[in-house]
Amino acid sequence: MSKTSIEGADALFQIAEPTAPQASQRAPGRGIGIDLGTTHSLVAIAPHGAAPRVLRDAEGRGLLPSIVSYIDERPQVGDPAAARQHERPDRVISSVKRFMGRGLAEVQFPHPYQLGDATGVLRVAVGDGREVSPVEVSAEILRVLKLRAEAELGGPVDGAVITVPAYFDDAQRQATRDAGRIAGLKVYRLLAEPTAAALAYGLDRNERGLFAIYDLGGGTFDISVLHLHSGVFQVLATGGDSALGGDDFDRALAAVLLARAAVSTPTPAQHDAARLAARALKERLSSVEEDRVSVPTIGLHDVSITRREFEAVIEPLAQRTIRACRQALKEAGVAVAELSGVVLVGGSTRVPRIRQMVEQAFGRAPLSDIDPDEVVAHGAAIQADILSGSERPGVTLLDVVPLSLGLETMGGIVEKIIPRNATIPISARQVFTNYSEQQTGMVIHVLQGERELARDNRSLARFELRGIPRLPPSMARVEVTFQLDADALLTVTARELMTGVKQSVEVKPTHGLSVEEVDRLVLESFDHAGDDYSARSVAEARVELGRVILAVRGPLAEVGHIEALLPPDDRMAIEAALREADDAMADSDSDADALSRARVRLEHTSEPFAARRMQRALSAGMAGKSLAEIEAALAADDLDVRRGGHGPALVPPAADGA
C-alpha cells in the first residue's frame, strides 16, 4: 500500500507540459466567442485584432434568453420561447446549464420538468413521447448564435471558443463540447468564464497584478484569483458554486410573494407569475433609487417590496458567495491587501447589495467598466480571434484544474495525480504496483474530487489493464499518465513497464451522450440545416404575430365604442388588420414573410389607438402618484408585451482476486 521507492519518491510524480498538438488550418478573423449562460447567452467577434463587440439580433438585442420551447413540433429559442413559458412550463426549458453533465441523482434543485435516465443519459420529457437531453437543448441555443454570427460575417464561421464556469467538472465540459459539435461548430477550445473576463480586462486596460474575478450569473457563481503579468494570465485558485445565481434570488423572493398572497400550493401559472414578478422587482431595485418598488402581476395581486426586505431575502445566498471568495484567497495564498482589483462579471452583480458586499469583503470598489453581461463574451471573442489565426499581441492563458484528479487504490483510497488548481495544459504520471502475486491485471478507476475515499468522489471512467506478468507483491511497475488539454479534457494511459502492455482511454462523462448519439445528432443537424432554419423563422414569426393579436384584441374589447379613444374609422381599420392577421395565423402555408407583413400592418394600424390609451393612462395616473406608480401603470397598459430579458497498489480485476 505504500508508495514504491524505485528511483526515489520524487521520480514517481513528474509534471511536464504535453507535446503541443499539430496546428490545423484556420480561417483568420472568422472565429467567434460564445458565452453560453444559464439565463442568457451571447456571441461576440473581434476579427483581425479589432475590439470585441457583441452581435445583436434584428431588434438590437445582444442577450439571447437561454430558453428553448418544445411546445410545437420544432423548437423555438430565445424570446419566442420565453413568451410561451406560461403556457406549458414543463415543455419550455430554461436554465439548462444546470443540468449539463449531470445524472438524475445529482439534480437536487427545484425545477418543473419530468426527468429520466433510463438510457443512462439524463433526459427531459417534453410531451408526445419526446425526450431531449440537456446537450441537445444547449445545441439549439448555440445554433441560433451561430446563425447570428454567420449573418454578421457574411459566411460560415471557422470555429468557436465557448466559455464554461471555472468550477465545471469534466462531465460538464464534455457535455458543452458535444453541444457545440451538434450545433455544427468546430470548438476551438473551452475557456473558463473568469479567465475570459480577465483576458478582456487585461488587454483593454493593460493591467498587471493580482485580481479577483467575482462572477455571479443567473445560475452559477465563480470566484477566481488570477495573476496578470506581461500578457500571461495565470489562475492561482478557483472556487464557487455551480448551483447558485440570480435565479436563486428570484426563487427566494417568489416564495415570499406567494406566502404573502397566502398561496401554499401554487399552480404553474401562479408559480410563473411569482417568479416573473420577483425578477422584475429585483431588476427595478437594481436600477432605481426608490426604497420601495411595485410591479403588476398576472394571477396575483400587484406586489411591492422594500429594498431592505429584498436584501434580507437574498442575504443568506449572497453570504455564500463571500465565503467562497475567502476560501479562494486562502487557497491562492493571497491576502486581500495584495489584490490590485476586483472585477465584476455577470448580470446579477448589478444588484447594489452584491456590489456593497464585494466592496466590503475586498476593501475596494470593484471594477465594472465593461458591461458585466458582455465581458465574458468579449474575452471569448479575443481568444477565438487568436485561435483562428489572426495576428494579435502574444497572450498566454494558464487555466487551472477545478477539482483534483486521481485513481482508486486498494482499500478504496484515492491517490491524487493532478491536484486541484494545477495549471493546465498539463501532463502528470505516477508509477503504481501490484497488490498480490496472482494479479495479472489492474483496474484503472479515474476519480475527481477532494475527498480521501473513492466512494465520496465522482467516478469519471473505469478500465482494466490486462496482461501484466505475475510478480511478487509490490514488484510490478505500471505507469499511469494523466494528460489534460487546454479544455481540461482528460486522457488516461496505463503502461506496464516490463512488457510494454498499454491501455488508454479518453475520459468521457458518466452522464454524457454516447459518441454514436453525438455523431447522429451532428449528421442530422447538417442534413436538416436548411429546413430547420426555415421552420424556425416561420415559428418565430407566428409567435410574434400571435403576441400582437392578443395585445390588440384585449384593449379593443375593453374600450368598446368610446369614440374618444377609438373613432369608427379606426376601429374598422384595426378590425380589418386583425382579420388579415387571423387568416395568416390560420393558414398553415403562411411563410415568415407573410406573417411578418400581417404583424407590421396590425402594429402600424393600431399605433394611434395605443397612443391614445397611453395618454389616457398617463393623465389618469399622474395626479397624486409617484414616478414609480406612474411607470407601473404605463407598463400595465403598454400594448408591447414585455418579456423577461433577457505508487500505491491498484485494485485487481475481480477475476484475479485480492
Catalytic residues: 35, 97, 193, 215
Q: Is 40 exposed, middle or buried (0-12, 13-18, 19+ CB in 10 A)?
A: buried
Q: 604: how many CB neighbours lie within 10 A of its CB?
A: 11
The CA distance from 536 to 379, in Å, is: 30
| Residues ≥6 apart with Cβ < 8 Å to 67 | 77, 78, 81, 82, 85, 92, 93, 94
Q: Which DSSP string do the residues of 187-223 spell out, in sequence order?
A: EEEEEEHHHHHHHHHHHHH---EEEEEEEE-SS-EEE
- C-alpha to C-alpha distance for 251 and 257, rounded to whole angstroms: 10
Angle at which helix 170-182 crosses helix 134-153, to 10 degrees, equals 50
Q: Tell the residue number behind the cell numbers 443567473, with chain if given.
A: 218
Burial class of residue 337 in the structure, from the number of CB atoms within 10 Å of its CB (0-12 exposed, 13-18 middle, 19+ buried): exposed
3-state secondary structure at position 657: coil
Residue 370 belongs to what H/E stretch?
A: none
Residue with cell 489492474: 442
Q: Which residue, among 543, 558, 566, has the nearest Cα to 612 in the 3D structure? A: 566
Q: How many Å apart are CA 428 and CA 14, to the nearest integer?
A: 6
H or E element at residue 623: none
φ, ψ of residue 327 in degrees (nearest 5): -65, -40
Q: Cis before residue 425, ω within 30 degrees of 0?
A: yes
Dist CA 113 CA 67 (whole Å): 14
Contacts with 621 (C-beta within 8 Å, 6 or more apart), sequence order: 629, 630, 633, 634
d(CA 237, CA 587): 58
Residue 192 pairs with which residues in a beta bridge? 164
The pairs formed by 116-120 with CB atoms below 8 angstroms and a separation of 24 or more are 117/511, 120/511
Is there a contact between 35 and 58 (Cβ–Cβ < 8 Å)? no
User: Residue with C-alpha cell 417590496?
Assistant: 305
Strand pairing report for 405-409 and 413-418: antiparallel
User: Collapsing DSSP states into helix, strand and coil, what is residue 176?
Assistant: helix
Residue 145 belongs to what H/E stretch? helix 134-153
Contact 352, 293 (CB under 8 A): no
Q: What angle do CA 289, 292, 296 make, to 5 degrees?
A: 110
DSSP of 21-44: PPPPP--TT-EEEEE--SSEEEEE
